[in-house]
């Protein structure tokens, strides 16, 4: 998935707008850097779901996920 630099910047700027739960948790010291990291990890999981790991609910079955006790 190849994005143009302008498109990447638009995605990052859009994701840098904090979600309500992020705001209530105290926000972010660097929302743009946080957004860039989130989107990079998301792109990696999208491009290579088999490597995403069991900790991501989008790419694992309930049986594969670590139990929460």
Structure confidence by residue, pLDDT tens digits, 47-63 = 877 776 665 655 556 77
Is residue 65 within 8 A of residue 57, CB to CB? The reply is yes
The stretches in the chain having pLDDT less than 50 are 1
pTM: 0.56
Q: How far apart are CA 49 and CA 54, in angstroms?
A: 10
Per domain, the residue ranges of the chain are 5-47
Q: How far apart are CA 32 and CA 46, in angstroms?
A: 21
- DSSP code of 66? P
Q: How far apart are CA 46 and CA 59, in angstroms?
A: 9
């Amino acid at each position: 998935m190849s994005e143009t630099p302008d498109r990447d910047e638009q995605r990052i700027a859009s994701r840098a707008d904090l979600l309500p739960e992020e705001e209530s948790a105290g926000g972010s010291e660097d929302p743009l850097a946080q957004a860039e990291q989130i989107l990079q990890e998301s792109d990696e999981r999208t491009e290579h779901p088999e490597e995403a790991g069991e900790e991501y609910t989008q790419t694992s079955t309930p049986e594969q996920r670590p139990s929460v006790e």
